[in-house]
Structure 1
Amino acid sequence: MKENDIIELLKSQDEFLKTTSKTSVENRISILKKLKASIKAHEQGIVDAIYKDFQKPEFEVLTTELFVVYKELNLFIKNLKKWSKPKSVSSAWLNFPSSDKIHYVPWGKVLVIAPWNYPFQLAITPAIGAIATGNTVVLKPSEHASYTAGVLVKIFNEVFEDQQAKIITGAVETAKILLEQKWDYVFFTGSVPVGRIVSEQIAKHMTPHTLELGGKNPCIVDSTAKIDVTAKRICWGKFLNAGQTCIAPDYLIIDSKIKDEFQKKLISSLKEFYSETSYKDYTRLIHDSHFEKLTGFLKDQNIIYGGESDAETNFLAPTLVDSPDLSSPLMNEEIFGPILPLYSYSTFDELEEMITSFEKPLSLYVFSERKDFVKQVNEKFDFGGGVINDTIVHFVNDKLPFGGVGASGVGNYHGRASFNTFTRQKPIVNRKTWLDIPIKYPPYNRVNSFKSFLNLFR
């Protein structure tokens, strides 16, 4: 789509918002139901498209893409009417008599830029919140998951008018043109470097925004951790989607007393999970440049398991690396792939020194049976969200806001948090006229009386 076409689309969205800004909650719920029915009708097409994009197994598509989307849709369909009601709050004494309410109103025109790693779920989920709350949406899916983008276009064409919700496909130049326009809200999911570019671009218009980014997510294994289940849960969370998950553990820090034993458990878990001959239940890397980048990370590293690769299919086996140099390319940025560095620690000070050497992460995981140790970790380190004795599962609870902190993200979403993100609170005071207290009017001859009253607040 050309720049002029995008500008015309935004103008048509402005007109659409003028005429439909008062659309009923019931109407929006009916649109969500229509969207749900369309997704259901295209389920197999979604599974097939994501497999074509990077060979994601059907089970992972059903659990990490469709399940999450259906949950979000069902939650909004069930609760939108309740959430949308104006909230009454107590009025200020100086405004007596009055009734005060907070109204939840849409921002207006919303741009959603989605990533490739969960190309359906991370595109549709924020769009659900934006559409449900009365905004118009332009969704830019990733060009690296073109088959999935094609299915998204079909679904949007079936469900929405162009002025209400539109998908615009394209690569970097398209994203650049979109970001140059004036939006009422921008929602971006992607890498930290690109997130910085997005933030700089939309700052020109002072645009409110949510940035869902990533970082070096630490995973701590205490000496009291139950080794068998810990190894399985870490391998699952790390190598799901071939490690191409923003909340995947980025590196392990293992108590030195159990490191050798735990390393063996990790290897046995990986052998149990994936057949070394077919890797049938294992996703491939998204494209050639990502493959080249990750395999480049492995040069001169001490690989203790895995490392096999195939450039023709962008396959990189689950790989464990022992104690890479912190200044190496592997540790200079988020790995975002099936490579797991292993470190050891002996004291909490060593743990702290390592974790705080990186920016605040999107997620942190700690495996321990010691409550005091878990408490110390959670109080000492700042991170977007975390899990005790598992990995990545906080993402599926729609009652928990999902988002980062510092370099790992701005804002949050999921469930009610999505409703809050895509609406703004509009306070309205309704003053009554049957009584008018004269204290606020000139001439100000009640200064001493008000000083006495002010003492109550001093």
Structure 2
Amino acid sequence: MNDSNNTYETLFNAQKANQYHIGQTSYKERIKKLKALKLALEKTYRYELIEAIYKDFKKPKLETDLTEIYIVVKEIKYAISNLKSWLKNQSVETPITLLGTSSYIKYEPKGVCLIISPWNYPINLTFGPLVSAIAAGNTVILKPSEMTTNTSAVMAKIVNELFNNNEVALIEGDVEVSQELLKLPFNHIFFTGSPAVGKIVMQAAAKHLTSVTLELGGKSPTIIHESTNIKAAIQNLVWGKFLNNGQTCIAPDYVLIHESIKSEFVEAFKTKTLEYYSENPMTSESFSRIVNGKHFKRLVSYIENAKTNNANIELGGDYDEVSNYIAPTLISNVSEDALLMKEEIFGPILPIKTYTSIDEVLDYINSKEKPLALYVYANNKKFIKTIINSTRAGSTCVNSNALQYSNHNLPFGGSNNSGIGKAHGFFGFQEFSNARSVLKKHTVGPLHLLFPPYTKFKEKLVKATIKWF
């Protein structure tokens, strides 16, 4: 074992030794920590974080405030407002057969937790889960992505300033660091990333029977019915797709649109994209960049592959390797053999397919893995209801997209290939907690009537119990 491995194990053991102390902290003590993190994000380090993430992939200031800072601050406020009630013992009913007892559920911390966060929303997806872990009373090791080094460095400063490392620590480094950390017997792992890497994390966790939350992704469809108000739909869709340059796990991945409104849709999409990002999005301060050369080349290969399969570039399609720039791109007539229809896109490219019947839509979506999000635009209630009831997805947004993520009263997460477990609000608190059942006997109840020896009378008593209770 090298020095780095020894360091990770030493840190893990320090948090393991400290977990019961942290786990017994009061809601007031946990709220104090959350308020300190809130202050760091809102004021002390806000501009430093904005500058750092701009250096990493030219993310606009407003997007950083909206999708990184505000989301985590909102998560903190929600936890502060509700933590006292979350930590109260939750009484449950006592069946008549257990007369003389009382029962309750106690939410206790899982222990030492590992949070592995991605590069696309580095602040949000590092500190968001941390809020839930702190609220639940855990010790935590954070491992942010190596692809956004400037942002990770600032987050490390924040963590080092606010916490002792035997409670919360942040480790910077590449994929090998994650691999070494995954060898340790954590009590819970919260991972955000691709399904492919999620399988690796789950496999590592299985060796220690560690519970996991996997926030993954996949190909999230957008269905547009002929009853849709195209102007209103496009306003939301263009924003939701090109936010963060399409590098969003719940971004619309492809569109299924009724063929009767395809032309209207394409023209409206072009107009709105021009309005949002100008005739030359490369010069727009509202349009970020692809995070690195590797992902840039991957996305360019998708565009070129679509062209070779006779797809139509309705908008964009141009790119610049020097700055990792890819224009907002809309592509139609995309072959099912094209990479765009096989792989999660995770970039500013939107393929569109047409349909004529709802059965086509359902068959197509249900032939694929369950998506993290499914969007439906329609003014037809029956159509909306049928889509929701006849498909499966981690979340759904009707007549908009991405907004479901910002409601902390809703659980956020996928299903199977798109994820395991839920995040945000009480659901995030639950992920980092064990729902411990407690039953207390107060007086002599009827149960002793069933103790040995087992007589004929007791057999009749059991039969009556089965029948009536």
**Quick one: distance in 2 between partners of 1:194 and 1:146?**
20
**Quick one: distance in 2 between partners of 1:213 and 1:327?**
23
Structure 1 residues 145 and 442: alpha-carbon distance in aligned structure 2, compared to 1, 3 A threshold: same
Secondary structure at the aligned position of 1:383 is classed as coil
Structure 1 residues 12 and 373: alpha-carbon distance in aligned structure 2, compared to 1, 3 A threshold: same
**Range that drifts further, 193-202 or 388-397:** 193-202
The RMSD of aligned alpha carbons is: 1.3
Contact 2:255 / 2:351 at 8 angstroms: preserved in 1? yes
Taking only the aligned residue pairs, the percentage that are identical comes to 39
Q: In the alignment, residue 447 of structure 1 is paired with which amino acid? A: E
Contact 2:132 / 2:429 at 8 angstroms: preserved in 1? yes
Which ranges in structure 1 are unaligned for 5 or more consecutive residues?
none
Correspondence list, 1:342-357, <5 A: 342-357=352-367
Q: In the alignment, residue 90 of structure 2 is paired with which amino acid? A: K
Contact 2:255 / 2:352 at 8 angstroms: preserved in 1? yes
Contact 1:12 / 1:163 at 8 angstroms: preserved in 2? yes
Q: Which residue is equivalent to 2:69?
A: 66
Q: Deviations over 1:18-77 (max 9, x none)?
A: 333311121111111111122221000111011001000001001111110110011111
Secondary structure at the aligned position of 1:453 is classed as helix
How far apart are residue 197 of structure 1 and its match? Answer: 1.2
Secondary structure at the aligned position of 1:455 is classed as helix
* 1:183 paired to 2:186: yes
Secondary structure at the aligned position of 2:142 is classed as strand
Contact 1:361 / 1:405 at 8 angstroms: preserved in 2? yes
**Quick one: distance in 2 between partners of 1:202 and 1:146?**
26
* 1:291 paired to 2:296: yes
* 1:362 paired to 2:372: yes
Q: How many residues align?
A: 457
Contact 1:38 / 1:158 at 8 angstroms: preserved in 2? no
How far apart are residue 433 of structure 1 and its match? Answer: 4.2
Contact 1:228 / 1:265 at 8 angstroms: preserved in 2? yes
Moved over 3 A (4+): 433-437
TM-score (norm 2): 0.95
Correspondence list, 1:275-290, <5 A: 275-277=278-280, 278-290=283-295
Q: Which residue is equivalent to 2:116?
A: 113
Correspondence list, 1:10-409, <5 A: 10-40=12-42, 41-277=44-280, 278-299=283-304, 300=307, 301-409=311-419
Q: In the alignment, residue 214 of structure 2 is paired with which amino acid? A: L
How far apart are residue 305 of structure 1 and its match? Answer: 0.8
Secondary structure at the aligned position of 2:182 is classed as helix
**Range that drifts further, 299-308 or 260-269:** 299-308
Contact 1:220 / 1:367 at 8 angstroms: preserved in 2? yes
Q: Deviations over 1:204-227 (max 9, x none)?
A: 111111100011111011111001
**Quick one: distance in 2 between partners of 1:435 and 1:417?**
36
Q: In the alignment, residue 295 of structure 1 is paired with which amino acid? A: V
Q: In the alignment, residue 427 of structure 1 is paired with which amino acid? A: S
Secondary structure at the aligned position of 1:407 is classed as coil
Contact 2:224 / 2:377 at 8 angstroms: preserved in 1? yes
**Range that drifts further, 49-58 or 201-210:** 201-210
Contact 1:109 / 1:136 at 8 angstroms: preserved in 2? yes
**Quick one: distance in 2 between partners of 1:286 and 1:20?**
37
Q: Deviations over 1:368-422 (max 9, x none)?
A: 1100011111111100101111111100000000000120110111011111111
Q: In the alignment, residue 440 of structure 1 is paired with which amino acid? A: L
**Quick one: distance in 2 between partners of 1:395 and 1:51?**
23
Which ranges in structure 2 are unaligned for 5 or more consecutive residues?
none
Q: In the alignment, residue 300 of structure 2 is paired with which amino acid? A: T
How far apart are residue 436 of structure 1 and its match? Answer: 7.2
Q: Deviations over 1:129-161 (max 9, x none)?
A: 001111000000000011110111011011111
Q: In the alignment, residue 175 of structure 1 is paired with which amino acid? A: S
Q: Deviations over 1:409-450 (max 9, x none)?
A: 101110111111111111111111466753132112222232
Contact 2:98 / 2:445 at 8 angstroms: preserved in 1? no
Contact 2:22 / 2:167 at 8 angstroms: preserved in 1? no
Q: In the alignment, residue 454 of structure 2 is paired with which amino acid? A: Y
